[in-house]
Chain A
Amino acid sequence: MTSKVHTHKERQSLVWRLHLDLPLLAGLFALMGFGLMVLYSAGGESESLIYRQVTRLGIGLAVMFMMAQFPPRFYAKWAPFLYLIGLVLLIAVIFFGDKSKGAQRWLMLGGFRFQPSELMKLAVPLMVAWYFSERPLPARKRELFIAAVLVLVPTLLIAKQPDLGTALLISSSGLFAIYLSGVSWRIIAGFVVAAVIFMPIHWFFLIHEYQKDRVYVYLEGIMNQTELCKQPDAWQICQSQVAIGSGGFDGKGWLNGTQSQLEFLPERSTDFIFAVLGEEFGFTGVAILLSIYLFIIARGLYIGTQAQETFSRLLAGAIVLTFFVYLFVNIGMVTGLLPVVGLPLPLVSYGGTSMVTLLSGFGMLMSIYTHRKLVST
């Protein structure tokens, strides 16, 4: 098992000196370009909407570029502080949080509305990676337990807001870091069994009624598709499926999706943008989108394997796997395969905060890849 040795020449290239990874960058740009095209259609050809989204992407890319300049060492050093700040802010949300649409997720900081859970999306994998970085692996049970607590505390705080989607992402990112640290397959199997046992308890005691309703709708959708549309709760998911299904193999054509253009599809520029893509670009478009995602994921996992310290490795792996959960949950939800969880389609959906967080993550990946030392074997 050896890392690839980079030539002197490669290290001299401009991209390398800027701490950017060209393949990853190419994948991200392909995704953003496709995404903007779909958004233009979904937003009713509004140029101001595209302008705002491009601005956000610009900010996100700038942040990514900045993040790529700091070496992984820097992140490791600040990880615990970031985690603690995040935790304090999450607790602050409980007391001083801003309420909107029945959820308490926001803090007002100097006129800005800020969502501490966004910070935690990066802080949790950073913290777990840091925690394992100085310890011999595979970790012992006591250490695993502590790592699990590090993940569980912010997850529960966020689930309480309630923000199920983010809680899911944060717990995944932490658990992926733990998983990648080399937990034995026996423990993983045990964990899966425990999760299965826990599910009924979760169902009966912990989740809200409206969340249960979503699951009912979902289950019914799987069973009986046409009946589904008659329920008011299911309108959204039903129209989404109709949009995607009616796209067929080739799609109805850009700007020609009737479900989206005639406003049958709710939230078509945000969480349900995948349905617009499916309707207008058909199965071909979906396959292209998934290919781009797969390419980004593959490149990200590759970067992880090339990392030289445990911290970088775990962080890279966790970021990439979480990225997959992100898109999988969104597409699964929009296609009716999974219950509705409010997650955007990463880097495609219209919207601000999550985009910056996501691109920060990719900035860290680039940092990990471009700050390696020459290794001789």
Chain B
Amino acid sequence: MLQRKVTIKNPFRELAYYQSRVFVAFFIIIALMAGLLFWVANLQVFHYENYRTRSDANRIRVRPVAPTRGLIYDRNGVILAENRSVYSLELIPEQVDDIDETLSQLKELLQLDDDDIERFHKEKRYTRRERFKKIPIKQKLTEKQVALFAVNRFRFKGVSVEARLVRYYPYGSVLVHALGYVGRINDREKARIDAANYKATHHIGKVGLEKHYESILHGTIGSRVVEVDVHERVLRTLSEQTPQNGVDLHLSLDVELQLAAEKALAGRRGVIVALDPANGDVLALVSNPGYNPNLFVTGISSKDYNKLLKSQDRPLFNRALRGQYSPGSTIKPHMAWLGLTSGMITPSYTVEDPGFFMLPNDERRYRDWKKLGHGKRIGYKQAIAQSCDTFFYDLAVRLGIDRIHPSMSKFGFGQLTGIDMGEEVPGLMPSRDWKRGARRAPWYPGETVIIGIGQGYWTATPLQIANSAAVIANDGKRYQLRLVNSQEANGVKTFMAPQLAEQQIDIGDGQHFDLIKKAMKEVNHGLRGSAREAFRDAPYESAGKTGTVQLVGYSQDEEYDKTKVAQNLHDNALYIGYAPYEKPQIAVAIVLENAGGGGSNAAPVARKVMDFYLESKPQKNKEPNT
């Protein structure tokens, strides 16, 4: 009680109190500091690996580097498909404070469309993307736009102009059916391709050569390991694995010849195929009309695409590979050879041609194109030169379909030519078996009759027709067709040996072959040859065969009258041929849709093509192709 009232200060007791509390406090401080140190050790020592990995994941990026797509050259080294820098305007949303403001300023500066802005918003909204990934605003900038942006770049943080290599076809529609084109990779293709190898690739071969050779044209992806900061700005490259660029393709095609052929067509619908008979190399491949492949590379507008799709002339259709035409009279030399070599006829065999042919016990008249007939004694040579139908009706019946089918197959009819483009169709070389299977009907003798003039069920692609001419020019040897004859990787050019087709005809001692070749020479140079007008005064000798194919059937007494038939049902004009007659360098097939007679329409086109190849630039092409 007494002590409580003592109010004087006791310095010693106060110091003692103080010291004990300081001691406790210091002990707690030591303990807390030890705890802190342990916690830090927990991060830095015990979980070091984890944090090290996460810190590297922050700053290290592996950027895929797209390989450069292989180029495509013609036989003389002219570039047919190249890669051009295309500049696109891109934006990183994370780095832009006010996107709408930035876009409206860009729109004003670069004269962008509302469509561009709208597309950007769509892309931004609907695409799942990584942080800091660029979104394109405008794909193809003009040089002026690039320059304008460059001087104003400082105003646009997070916006950049990116250069990308994009496929460009300098010859546009002229070569589209020979080369095909590339386009943006779609979802279906995404599922099929090796995603890792295409990580930095935007385009893929869609049709033609570009598709067929996609695996070697594309190349192998490379990568660059870079260090980035928090704004994903690349500060330096840590390591790099350069991509393996795509292989360059060298075609056998001669682009000048292609242009000359295109010109010779003069805008008509049709096909020109020119081959080197000695090896199956394609020299020219024109399917007209074509379309501009460059539109497809950067994405064609649906308006333009619909226009192409709905066009009556079917520009998207590759007639050379997929057009199935009756070969018509162009197969007459082949049939004659078969007749001679099989012994069904002799060189001196003749028929009487009253202007029609009739089967025994049948009323039906199979008419010759010449109403009054070619004369009383028509042999094989006249029959070829003047394209006498009656002779070949008779011959076909004598041979029978069972002999015709296997032999014509060996000339390549009904067989794929093996051209390196995919998409090719085999056409149809009919047979008894085929008809039983496909039509569930027996073969009628009348069907054999019209096979004799290359009509009826018989269809062939222009490639096959051209190759059938090359087989004759090449004394029976048939090659697989091809556009690419060498590949170039890392500066080393590898020539590929031509491949013989699997089935070959047996020409025996070749005497019958010589006979029909002479007959084909008559077509071009004989007094009554069906193509004599076209080859008048030619500075070289050549061989050929015309064909005119009716697209509508006529009753017994009706006559074909051009003025009465719709234009798209007019006769197809065909021609096959090769030149020079000795040592042939070029074999051609011409198919002109609804153009009329083959001699007057198709043969002059062939003449122009041959003239150009043999006369205008003879030196260049005679060099050995090694």
Contacts and interface: CB of A to CB of B under 8 A. Distances in A.
A182 B21 contact: yes
A282 B235 CA distance: 24
B538 to A, nearest CB: 76
Contact of B22 (A241, A293, A317): A317
A293 B43 CA distance: 21
Contact of B59 (A248, A262, A293): A262
A321 interface: yes
B18 interface: yes
Given A301-B22, A301-B26, A317-B22, A263 B229 contact: yes
A19 interface: no
Interface in A256-298: 258-259, 262-264, 278, 282-283, 286-287, 290, 293-294, 297-298
Contact of A243 (B17, B30, B55, B231): B55
Contacts of A241: 43, 51
A367 B14 CA distance: 21
A259 B8 CA distance: 60
B551 interface: no
A66 B30 CA distance: 32
A248 B227 CA distance: 20
Contacts of A298: 26
Nearest to B57: A242
A81 B13 CA distance: 29
B228 interface: yes
A310 interface: yes
Nearest to A298: B26
B12 interface: yes
Contacts of B32: 324, 328
Contacts of B9: 135-137, 310
A182 B39 contact: no
A283 B227 contact: no
A293 to B, nearest CB: 8
B130 to A, nearest CB: 15
A357 interface: no
Interface string B41-60: 10111011011101110110
Nearest to A331: B36
A332 B17 contact: no
Nearest to A133: B9
Contact of A136 (B7, B29, B55): B7
Given A278-B40, A301-B22, A248 B15 contact: no
B44 A282 contact: yes
A1 interface: yes
B45 A249 contact: yes
Contacts of B16: 1
Nearest to B47: A245
A161 interface: no
B10 interface: yes
B17 A137 contact: yes
Interface in B207-235: 227-231, 235
B44 A264 contact: no
B37 interface: yes
B41 A262 contact: no
Contacts of A294: 29-30, 33
A337 B18 contact: no
Contacts of A297: 26, 29
A121 interface: no
Given A245-B52, A259-B55, A301-B26, A337 B44 contact: no
A249 B48 contact: yes
B42 to A, nearest CB: 9
B18 A305 contact: yes
Contacts of B29: 294, 297, 321, 324
B359 interface: no
A13 to B, nearest CB: 26
B17 A181 contact: yes
Contacts of B51: 241-242, 244-246
Contacts of B6: 136
Contacts of B44: 244-245, 247-249, 278, 282-283, 286
Contact of A1 (B7, B15, B25, B43): B15
B19 interface: yes
A75 interface: no
B60 to A, nearest CB: 9
Interface in B543-600: none
B15 A313 contact: yes
Interface residues of A, number: 50
Contact of A259 (B7, B17, B58): B58
A242 B230 contact: no
A229 B53 CA distance: 14
Nearest to B227: A262
B14 A328 contact: no
A326 to B, nearest CB: 12
Given A180-B22, A301-B25, A262 B58 contact: yes
Given A244-B43, A246-B54, A258 B59 contact: yes
A294 B16 CA distance: 23
A244 B36 CA distance: 13
A245 B44 CA distance: 4
A4 B7 CA distance: 28
A181 B43 CA distance: 39
A350 interface: no
B45 A264 contact: no
B44 to A, nearest CB: 4
Contact of B40 (A136, A239, A283, A301): A283
B36 A332 contact: yes
Contacts of B59: 258, 262, 264
Interface in B385-424: none
Contact of B37 (A246, A249, A290, A310): A290
A179 interface: yes
B52 A283 contact: no
B55 A246 contact: yes
Interface string A295-328: 0011001001100001001100100010010001
Contacts of A182: 14, 17-18, 21
Nearest to A239: B58
Q: Which of B40, B50, B56, B228 gathers the greatest number of chain A CB atoms within 10 Å?
A: B40
A222 B96 CA distance: 34
A335 interface: yes
A89 to B, nearest CB: 30
Contacts of B13: 137
Nearest to B30: A294
B45 A290 contact: no
A60 B398 CA distance: 121
Contacts of A293: 33
A278 B43 CA distance: 10
Interface in B332-391: none
Given A136-B8, A262-B58, A290-B33, A246 B230 contact: no
Contacts of B10: 136
A183 to B, nearest CB: 8
A179 B51 CA distance: 41
A31 to B, nearest CB: 15
Given A1-B15, A137-B17, A241-B51, A335 B227 contact: no
17 contacts: A137-B17, A180-B18, A182-B14, A241-B51, A245-B43, A246-B55, A248-B44, A258-B55, A290-B37, A293-B33, A294-B33, A297-B26, A301-B22, A301-B25, A310-B9, A331-B40, A337-B39
Given A182-B18, A246-B55, 19 more contacts: A181-B18, A182-B17, A239-B58, A243-B55, A244-B51, A245-B54, A246-B54, A246-B56, A259-B55, A283-B41, A286-B40, A290-B37, A301-B25, A314-B18, A317-B18, A321-B29, A324-B32, A335-B43, A337-B39
Interface of B: 6-19, 21-22, 25-26, 29-30, 32-33, 36-37, 39-41, 43-45, 47-48, 50-52, 54-56, 58-59, 227-231, 235
> What 10 pairs between A and B have smallest CB-CB spacing?
A245-B51, A182-B17, A246-B55, A245-B43, A262-B229, A246-B51, A263-B230, A283-B44, A246-B52, A248-B48
